Amino acid sequence: MSLFNVYPLYEVTPVSAKGIYVYDKNGAEYLDLYGGHAVISIGHSHPKYVEAITHQVAKLGFYSNAVQNPLQEELAAKIEALSGCKDYELFLCNSGAEANENALKLASFKTNKSRVIAFKNGFHGRTSAAVAATDNAAIIAPINAQQEVTILELNDIASVQIELEKGDVCAVIVEFIQGVGGLDQANAAFFEQLDVLCKKNNTMFIADEVQSGYGRSGKFFAFQYYKLTPDIISIAKGMGNGFPIGGILIHPSIEAKYGMLGTTFGGNHLACVAGLSVLNAIEEEHLMENVTEMSAYFVKIANTIPQVKKTKGKGLMLGLEFDFEVADLRKKLIYEHHIFTGGASNKKVLRILPPLNINKGHINQFFEALVAALDGMFPKMVK
Ligand SMILES: Cc1ncc(COP(=O)(O)O)c(C=O)c1O
């Protein structure tokens, strides 16, 4: 049976990985500044993570949500402690799209309304309502297009106000740092006004922290750079360091009812220990501090490179914007310099999403390769 061909693939076959490095089937070493799309948070094959999952699978890998699972409570307590998000409640699922589906569904249950406001260049997943709220017509099938979604420009608060005052909007969903779109961020006043307008109009404010959460921005959540209180926070990617796990944090103003949400696999024993060992590593290895320090180091060097027109993003969710499309540069980096980087809908942005325990040596290795790759593509430039 052949594979359904939906992914354009690089000619690399990773077979093992350790820390910030990935190794292919020929034993070649690659520096991973992509983290498998912002998923690898505490580093590949982290020894405590491997041990925790190995131990748990030998004991009890899975049982359904019909029985007590104290690991879920332990995970909820740890998320609360590290994020400082007091009083929220946790619902666990398996991916980012599923987290946003549940967030949008809850918003609709809570408000008894159904229209969603989302933003230009935003990405929220590939399923039902999540993809309908994504600004990319190419991935929205007719079945998804039935959802009522209005896409507005970031920073255009007047349009948000007009739409919310119509009274039919259940949720505003936003990324505080756009990932797939290319690292754009709205301004603080816009985000804070969104929160105010949502509260005024009985609309749920959903923070999509699927990519920006779990320390990647330098704070536990990217929304914590602002003064606001989301009603629902969706999480996934870095949460399991590669183990599929997602979830939503739900403000206590939204009351749970039996059967309102549910899943077979979400919150299983293995996913919970993966999630717990990620949080333990973030805490014990001071990874959020490392993110801030490494981010400053990275940006300082990036700003000395003449071809880099703009450095975007926060923490270790960064983008380097050039005045040319970066597809060839990414190929050069991967095939000639053995470095993984990411692309974006904005084709001129090179995305940098490394594990959060990257160090200055790795960053130096990247910039030496970047300068060599750029020198190979363009005549020498001086900033
Ligand atoms: C901000 C954001 N939300 C949601 C998703 C969807 O997550 P998943 O691919 O786990 O369904 C992504 C994935 O890139 C994302 O970046």
Tell me the CA–centroid distance for residue 132 and ligand 1, in Å: 13
264-316: pLDDT as tens digits: 999 999 999 999 999 999 999 999 999 999 999 999 999 999 999 999 999 99
CB distance 268 to ligand 1 below 6 Å: no
> Is position 121 within any domain?
yes
Q: What is the position in ligand 1's atom list of the atom closest to the CA of 237?
A: 10
Tokens, residue 336: 């000639």
> Is position 148 within any domain?
yes
Residues 130 and 191 in one domain: yes
CB distance 181 to ligand 1 below 6 Å: no
Q: Rounded CA gap, 65 and 184, in Å?
A: 38
Residues 338 and 371 in one domain: yes
Residues 190 and 303 in one domain: no
Type of residue numbered 200: K
> Is position 382 within any domain?
no
Q: Is residue 52's pLDDT more than 90?
A: yes
CB distance 94 to ligand 1 below 6 Å: no
CB distance 135 to ligand 1 below 6 Å: no
* Final residue belonging to a domain, choices 238, 264, 284: 284
- For residue 251, the model assigns a pLDDT of 97
Residues 121 and 223 in one domain: yes
* Final residue belonging to a domain, choices 254, 284, 314: 284
- For residue 59, the model assigns a pLDDT of 97
Cβ-based neighbours of 89, under 8 Å, separated by 6 or more:
76, 249, 250, 252, 256
Tell me the CA–centroid distance for residue 246 and ligand 1, in Å: 10
- Residue 230, phi then psi, degrees to nearest 5: -65, 150
- For residue 379, the model assigns a pLDDT of 63
Residues 185 and 331 in one domain: no
Residues 25 and 154 in one domain: no
- For residue 376, the model assigns a pLDDT of 87
Average pLDDT over residues 116-142: 97
Tell me the CA–centroid distance for residue 117 and ligand 1, in Å: 17
- Domain count for the chain, please give it: 2
User: Which pTM does this prediction carry?
Assistant: 0.97
- For residue 380, the model assigns a pLDDT of 63
Q: Is residue 72's pLDDT more than 60?
A: yes
Residues 34 and 116 in one domain: no
* Final residue belonging to a domain, choices 253, 284, 315: 284
Average pLDDT over residues 49-68: 97
Place of tokens 């990620």: 278
Best residue among 6, 134, 139, 210 to mutate for probing ligand 1's pocket (most ligand atoms within 8 Å of CB) is 210
pLDDT band at 164 (very low <50, low <70, confident <90, very high): very high
CB distance 93 to ligand 1 below 6 Å: no
Q: Is residue 36's pLDDT more than 80?
A: yes
User: Looking at residue 336, which CATH number applies to its domain?
Assistant: 3.90.1150.10
Domain that holds residue 211: 47-284
**CA dihedral of 318, 328, 123, 11, whole degrees rounded to 10:** -110
Q: What is the position in ligand 1's atom list of the atom closest to the CA of 180?
A: 16
Q: In what order do the strands lie in the sheet with 204-208?
A: 89-93, 246-250, 232-235, 204-208, 169-174, 115-119, 149-152
> Is position 167 within any domain?
yes
Tell me the CA–centroid distance for residue 207 and ligand 1, in Å: 12
Place of tokens 């629902």: 232
Residue of the CA atom closest to atom 10 of ligand 1: 96
Residues 246 and 297 in one domain: no
89-116: pLDDT as tens digits: 999 999 999 999 999 999 999 999 999 9
Residue of the CA atom closest to atom 8 of ligand 1: 96
- For residue 180, the model assigns a pLDDT of 96
Q: Rounded CA gap, 96 and 245, in Å?
A: 8
> Is position 275 within any domain?
yes
Q: Is residue 192's pLDDT more than 60?
A: yes
Residues 179 and 167 in one domain: yes
Tell me the CA–centroid distance for residue 180 and ligand 1, in Å: 8
Percentage of residues of the chain with pLDDT beyond 90: 98
Tell me the CA–centroid distance for residue 59 and ligand 1, in Å: 31
Residues 18 and 108 in one domain: no
Residues 109 and 123 in one domain: yes
Tell me the CA–centroid distance for residue 378 and ligand 1, in Å: 34
> Is position 270 within any domain?
yes
Mean pLDDT for the chain overall: 97
Q: Is residue 378's pLDDT more than 90?
A: no
User: Looking at residue 154, which CATH number applies to its domain?
Assistant: 3.40.640.10
> Is position 299 within any domain?
yes
CB distance 211 to ligand 1 below 6 Å: yes
pLDDT band at 382 (very low <50, low <70, confident <90, very high): low
- Residue 208, phi then psi, degrees to nearest 5: -85, 95
CB distance 124 to ligand 1 below 6 Å: yes
- For residue 136, the model assigns a pLDDT of 97
Residues 242 and 280 in one domain: yes
Q: Is beta strand 21-24 parallel, antiparallel or unpaired with respect to 29-32?
A: antiparallel
> Is position 8 within any domain?
no
